[in-house]
Structure 1
Amino acid sequence: MLNKKEEISLSKFMTKILRHTPQEYGIVLESRDGSCPTAALLQAVRSRPKWKAVTMEEIEQVVRNSDKQRFEIIGDRIRARYGHSHQKLSYEPGQPPDVLYHGTNMFVLQEILAEGIRPMGRQYVHLSEGLHFASLAGQRRGQLVILAVDTRKAHEQGTQFYYAGNEVWLADEVPADCCSPLETALNP
């Protein structure tokens, strides 16, 4: 059983492998859903001295306890649900709720309000059904700002939404006029 610090460290390592640099660790992700065999991930993790004794149960612990539910195990396969930078995964288009939320920071607010939300170094823009996940994502880099996204208006302008699971939605980009900052986020 991992302690909280070890769990966070292993989660970050798994994120690196499954979302950003799988090839560095000999992992080939299925292009359809970004998954790989759990046995292959376990072998890749164990290839590092720090993690040579990690067990499948500890990987399952990380998956189960991830605050953003980053990972998913289905049968004998594991995947990162979203956040990939190495290849663009395909997701089925879906019908999101009328409003989704995007967590960001005050530093980029004016740029977003002028140009919209873009994926930056990721393959998709990440949006959430609730404020919790938006807050987790946005508070990492400065003063938190939460944007409400009018999904109907965005869809009318050609934005396609994809459900990644666990309240997370993805889009290629979101037009600026579909985004509005929540007042409570600007005036805590």
Structure 2
Amino acid sequence: MLNPAAEVSLSKFMTKLLRHTPSEYGLLLDPEDGSCLLGDLLSVIHAAPKWAGITVEDICQVVRNSEKQRFAIEGERIKARYGHSHAKLTYEPGTPPPVLYHGTNQSALSAILKEGLKPMGRQYVHLSEGLHFASLAGSRRGRLVLLSVDTVRAVHLGVTFYYAGNEVWLAEPVPPACIALREEE
């Protein structure tokens, strides 16, 4: 069993492998869903001397305990649910709830309200069904601001939404007309 610090460190390495630079490590991901065999991921992890003793159970621990639920294991395969920067994965379009949330920071607020939500180096805009995940994402850089997105209006304006799993939705850029500052209750 990994200690908390090792778990966080392995999670960051898995993020690098499954979301950002798999080719740097010789890891081949399925172009459709971004998955690979657990055994292939384990082999790549073992190639890094720091991680030579990692087991499939350790990887499962990281997946299970990831607060943002970044990873999913399906049978013998593992993938990052969202956040890929190495290749655009295909997701099935879906019908989101009427309102989704986006966490950001105070310094980005005026640009978002003027220009809308953009992927900003990612493939999609990340939204969540609940405030918990939006708060986690938005609190990383500065004072947290929560926005609500009127998905009914966004769909009417041509935005496509994709369900990534575990309350996370991905979208093409969202126009400012669909975004509102969420007032604290």
Regarding TM over 0.5, the answer is yes
Give me the CA root mean square deviation: 0.8
1:7-86 paired onto structure 2 within 5 Å? 7-86=7-86
The number of residues matched between the two structures is: 185
Structure 2 residue aligned with 1:116:
116
- Distance in 1 (CA, whole Å) between partners of 2:45 and 2:173 is 33
**Which residue pairs with 1:99 in the alignment?**
99
TM-score using structure 2 length: 0.99
SS in 2 for 1:180: strand
Deviations 1:102-131 (A, max 9, x none): 000001000000000000110000000000
Cα deviations by residue, 1:1-28 (Å, 9 ceiling, x for unpaired): 0011110110000000000000011111
2:161 aligns to what?
A: 161
Shift of 1:53: 0.6
Q: 2-side partners of 1:12 and 1:67: how far apart?
A: 13
Q: How many percent of aligned residue pairs carry the same amino acid?
A: 65
Name the counterpart of 1:182: 182
| Matching residue of 2:149 | 149
SS, match of residue 148 in structure 1: strand
Query: Is the partner of 2:100 in helix, strand or coil?
Result: strand
> Cα distance, 1:184 vs. partner?
1.4
Deviating beyond 4 angstroms after TM superposition, the runs of 4 or more aligned structure 1 residues are none
Instruction: Quote the Cα distance in structure 1 between the aligned partners of 2:44 and 2:173.
Output: 33
Structure 2 unaligned regions, length at least 5: none
Instruction: For structure 1, list consecutive stretches of 5 or more residues without a partner in the other structure.
Output: none
Aligned letter for 1:3?
N
TM-score under structure 1 length normalisation: 0.97
Alpha-carbon distance in structure 2 between the residues aligned to 1:24 and 1:66 = 24
TM-fit CA distance, 1:75: 0.7
